[in-house]
Homo-oligomer: A and B are copies of this chain.
């Protein structure tokens, strides 16, 4: 993941947008009067790439999108927010069918040309009549050029900030949009993230870049170790700006994705501080990731970060609890926090006190672990655990 100096810029009214897309957003009153329906329509078939949650309880929309992806191209995207349509069984699938049918008629496209997602409360039926009535206005209310700012707003649930960034790649434009603040430890995919570009990227290349980038960005972050049933990360390429240099596009995709991942983390429920865990010289990348995630997800490390407490003993604990089969030798392990080696160095009270001040002042804290066991390396990007996280999540459905 890139460390923070992003080339991509937050999307605003003057940002460039990729050619070939139109949008439609509306409110079907699913939870309140906020916008909860967001549609992107492509003028012509786009190359499409996607990665999705691996949850056993993946929702109807994820299953439909995964099937759609096999086609390799898509014409539209439908996102429903404020209700995830998850754990709703056969009824949930039937409801989604009705909505996809309505939208395909509006846009004169085939039903299997639509990528779709739903996000919000789990286990409640969609108000399918109200949503279908909204969608019946799509054709006459399409916004062209596309209004990606409104799209980014419409897919928010408990997000407090809009997460949309853009950058130019050669003659093309890449826009990235994400939502998510909790239930976030993506695995192979993430939250809801969408990329739109007019660069002409062949579908297989787009899929392979997206998979790699998701693994290096969204799969490295964790807010609370919980994995959503609706995670989807999908890229659309209209190709209207013609081909661009592949490496330049891959770099741009990494930049935009890192930027979005950081926006998600900073807007995490109750988050006051973000911390990076970098594990180096593990026996493999997989072991490095397991150790980094163990630290990033430890409630005791997270509360210490919240209190700006250089409690490195808890970092040692979180390394220690990893699978016995990993090569982890306390005699060879090195731990440092914000550049100060805390283990196995003997730290005096003055150093500790200085470190405490550094941590209190920093918005971003750095934990490095060297396992001296091989060439594996991984990062995990986490956040503190604050009383606000608990307060926010104690009364969500009620």
- Complex CA distance for A121 and B312, rounded to whole angstroms: 10
Is the pair B396, A58 in contact by a Cβ cutoff of 8 Å? no
Q: Which B residues are CB-close (under 8 A) to A310? A: 397
Whether, in the assembled complex, A227 has its beta carbon less than 8 Å from a beta carbon of chain B, the answer is yes
Tell me whether B89 and A390 are in contact (CB under 8 A). no
Contacts of A364 in B (CB 8 A): none
Question: In the complex, how many angstroms separate the beta carbon of A51 from the nearest chain B beta carbon?
Answer: 14
Contact B331 A89 (CB under 8 A): yes
Chain copies in complex: 2
Query: Once the chains bind, are A320 and B57 in contact (CB under 8 Å)?
Result: yes
Residues of B within 8 A of A121 (CB): 313
List residues of chain B with CB within 8 A of the CB of A329: 56
The answer to the question of A81 belonging to the interface, with a C-beta cut-off of 8 Å to chain B, is: no
A 296-323 to B, binary, CB cutoff 8 A, 1 in contact else 0 = 0111100110110111111011111110
Q: State which of A136-144, A206-214, A243-251, A381-389 sits at the interface with chain B.
A: A381-389
Structural contact, B321 and A187, CB atoms closer than 8 A: yes
Is A47 an interface residue, CB under 8 A from the partner? Answer: no
* A176 proximal to B (CB < 8 A): no
Contacts A57-B316, A224-B299; A390 near B387 (Cβ below 8 A) = yes
How far, in whole Å, are A187 and B317 apart by their CA atoms in the complex?
A: 13
A328:B56 contact, CB within 8 angstroms: yes
- Encoded as 1 (CB less than 8 Å from any B CB) or 0, chain A from 51 to 67 comes to 00011111000000000
Could you say which residues of chain B place their CB within 8 Å of the CB of A307?
A: 393-396, 398
For A328, what are the chain B residues with a Cβ–Cβ distance below 8 Å? 56
Is A128 positioned at the interface, with any CB of B under 8 Å from its CB? Answer: no
The answer to whether B229 touches A316, judged by C-beta atoms less than 8 angstroms apart, is yes
Name A318's closest neighbour in chain B (CB-CB).
Answer: B226
Q: Is the CB of A56 within 8 A of B322?
A: yes
Could you say which of B321, B342, B344, B389 contacts A227, with CB atoms under 8 Å apart? B321
| A70-86 interface bits toward B, Cβ cutoff 8 Å, 1 = contact, 0 = none | 00000000000000101
Q: Are B56 and A319 in contact (CB under 8 A)?
A: yes
With A58-B320, A344-B89 known as contacts, the answer to whether A394 contacts B304 (CB < 8 A) is yes
Q: Hey, which chain B residues are within 8 Å of A228, CB to CB?
A: 317
Any B CB within 8 A of the CB of A34: no
Question: B390–A317 contact, CB under 8 A?
Answer: no
Within 8 Å CB of A54, what residues of B? 324
Question: Which of chain A's residues 176-235 have a Cβ closer than 8 Å to chain B?
Answer: 182-183, 185, 187, 224-229
Task: Report the minimal beta-carbon distance from A64 to chain B, rounded to whole angstroms.
Answer: 15
Residues of chain A in range 82-97 having any CB-CB distance to chain B below 8 Å:
84, 86-87, 89
Chain B CB within 10 Å, residue with most, of A57, A229, A300: A57
CA distance A87 to B328 in the complex (A): 13
The interface of chain A, by Cβ under 8 A from chain B, is 54-58, 84, 86-87, 89, 121-123, 182-183, 185, 187, 224-229, 297-300, 303-304, 306-307, 309-314, 316-322, 324, 326, 328-331, 342-344, 356, 385-387, 389-398
10 residue pairs of the A-B complex, CB under 8 angstroms, read: A56-B329, A57-B330, A58-B320, A87-B313, A87-B344, A182-B300, A226-B299, A227-B317, A228-B317, A309-B396
What are the 7 closest A-B residue pairs judged by CB atoms, nearest first? A122-B313, A307-B394, A57-B320, A55-B320, A303-B393, A227-B321, A387-B387
Task: With A57-B320, A183-B300, A226-B299 given, name 13 new contacts (CB 8 A).
Answer: A56-B328, A57-B317, A58-B320, A89-B330, A225-B225, A226-B298, A227-B317, A309-B395, A309-B396, A311-B396, A311-B397, A356-B398, A387-B387
